[in-house]
Amino acid sequence: MNDFFVQDLASAIKADSDCANTSGEICAIDFDILFDSQDSEASDLVFNKQSRDRVEVCFKNGSAGKACVIHVGCVENSAHKIFDLIYQDGRSLRQLLGLQKHTRK
């Protein structure tokens, strides 16, 4: 997971997964974070570069139809990583996990 996400986001995703596994309950995340869906099947991906560090990824996701997720990137330790995911309704993965939103090094 650390290959794709910045360190603090990767650690928060793992901590949420550990919380769910330990408690048997839903913690902060109850959906597939890449597709913002309970159904992790996606097809017909289209990538739209919005800016130097933002790419909108749109796709078909099962019965829900078309959805889009904005991938906010940055460079960490000379590697391009995902800093945040912004969902169609404005939710931020960083925010959901209790991390600071839109604050990059």
pTM: 0.87
Euclidean distance between CA atoms 73 and 58, whole angstroms: 16
pLDDT of 103 > 70? The answer is no
| Among 15, 26, 16, 70, CA closest to 46 | 70
Q: Tell me the per-residue pLDDT of 1-25, one tens digit each, with 9 for 90 and over.
A: 678 999 999 999 999 999 999 999 9
Euclidean distance between CA atoms 93 and 25, whole angstroms: 19
Q: Tell me the per-residue pLDDT of 57-100, one tens digit each, with 9 for 90 and over.
A: 999 877 668 889 999 999 888 889 999 999 999 999 999 999 97
Q: Are 51 and 83 in contact (CB under 8 A)?
A: no
Sheet holding 79-87, edge to edge: 43-51, 54-60, 66-76, 79-87
